[in-house]
């Protein structure tokens, strides 16, 4: 009796006999025994499969810094304000809209609040926030710089009565221009110990402040400093020069 023909085998064990299995060495599925085709899902159609797409519902735009992460660049100008909040996405800007501050005259005051956007502010301690050039009124100009006429007892911080009239004028100006702040600086010549001169000049500046506060000026509007022999305006080698260096200066300051 002739030998029986060998029975067909299923080499990959997928239930499909090798003669009918188009992929006899790979486990497969109907109808041909080959592995099922891999379905690549790309919801946003940006070419990056959802399995590796960090933003599967938003298409990649190919822009740096991450052109292949599957996400659009929501901050193309790198100012920290993302689209759609950023109304100027190609220009670095500031909150809240992400647009740059416009300052045509370059005075540091944004056009949005600058009353003179095409003319720079004059920073002189007077109306320094409106954005407009200006000159100090004459009444103010008198009290900006060296104040001649404020005298003290020798070696002391006691203001002489002869100085009251001038100080009262300064009080009147500060009362009229309530937005002004002033720095009162005391100076000495270079005779004697440096620290003693600094202490004396500070005490004299404070005496001026105390006088004006006693007349109703808010103490928060007046700063003081004692410069001692620093920043002389004349030659300390002569009596006339030393007398000029012993002085009080007012400086209008912005707040």
Residue 148's Cβ-side half-sphere holds a number of Cα atoms within 13 Å equal to 4
pLDDT at 2: 64
Domain contains 30: no
Q: Mean pLDDT for each 10-residue chunk of the chain (255 residues)? A: 75 88 90 87 88 88 81 83 86 85 87 90 84 84 86 91 94 91 94 95 97 96 96 93 92 79
pLDDT at 92: 86
Domain contains 73: no
Domain contains 244: yes
Domain contains 81: no
For residues 169 and 182, give the distance between their C-alpha atoms in angstroms, rounded to a whole number: 14
Q: What is the DSSP string of 183-240?
A: EEEEE--S-S-HHHHHHHHHHHHHHHHHHHHHTT--GGGEEEEEEETSS-SS-TTSHH
Domain contains 249: yes
Domain contains 50: no
For residues 180 and 252, give the distance between their C-alpha atoms in angstroms, rounded to a whole number: 7
> Do the beta carbons of residue 25 and residue 40 sit within 8 Å?
no
> Do the beta carbons of residue 15 and residue 26 sit within 8 Å?
no
Greatest Cα-to-Cα distance within the chain, rounded to the nearest angstrom = 149
pLDDT at 78: 83
> Do the beta carbons of residue 238 and residue 223 sit within 8 Å?
no
Q: How far apart are the first and last CA of the chain?
A: 118
What percentage of the chain's residues is helix, strand, coil (to nearest 5)? 20, 10, 65
Domain contains 194: yes
Domain contains 47: no
> Do the beta carbons of residue 73 and residue 54 sit within 8 Å?
no
pTM value? 0.55
pLDDT at 157: 94
Domain count, the chain: 1
pLDDT at 198: 96
The position carrying tokens 């007077």 is 126
Q: Please state whether the peptide bond connecting residue 84 to the residue before it is cis, i.e. omega within 30 degrees of 0.
A: yes
For residue 233, give its domain range: 138-253
Q: Are strands 222-228 and 181-187 parallel, antiparallel or unpaired?
A: parallel
Domain with residue 226: its CATH number is: 3.30.1330.60
* H/E stretch holding 247: strand 247-253
For residues 163 and 167, give the distance between their C-alpha atoms in angstroms, rounded to a whole number: 6
């Amino acid at each position: 009796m002739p030998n029986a023909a060998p029975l067909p085998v299923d080499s990959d064990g997928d239930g499909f006999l090798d003669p009918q299995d188009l992929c006899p060495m790979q486990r497969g599925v109907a109808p041909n025994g080959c592995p099922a085709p891999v379905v690549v899902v790309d919801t946003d159609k940006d070419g990056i499969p959802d399995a590796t797409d960090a933003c599967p519902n938003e298409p990649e735009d190919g822009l740096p810094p991450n052109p292949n992460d599957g996400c659009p660049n929501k901050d193309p100008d790198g100012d920290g304000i993302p689209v759609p909040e950023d109304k100027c996405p190609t220009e670095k800007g500031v909150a809240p809209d992400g647009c740059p501050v416009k300052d045509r005259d370059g005075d540091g005051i944004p056009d949005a609040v600058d009353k003179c956007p095409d003319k720079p502010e004059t920073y002189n301690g007077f109306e320094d926030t409106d954005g407009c050039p200006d000159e100090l009124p004459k009444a103010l100009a008198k009290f900006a710089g060296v104040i001649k006429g404020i005298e003290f007892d020798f070696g002391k911080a006691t203001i002489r009565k002869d100085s009251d009239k001038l100080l009262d004028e300064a009080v009147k100006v500060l009362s009229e221009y309530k937005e002004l702040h002033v720095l009162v600086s005391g100076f000495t010549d270079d005779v004697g110990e440096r620290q003693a001169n600094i202490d004396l000049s500070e005490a004299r500046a404070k005496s001026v402040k105390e006088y004006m506060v006693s007349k109703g000026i808010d103490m928060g509007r007046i700063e003081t400093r004692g410069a001692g022999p620093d920043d002389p305006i004349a030659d300390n080698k002569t009596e006339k020069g030393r007398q000029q260096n012993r002085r009080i200066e007012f400086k209008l300051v912005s707040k």
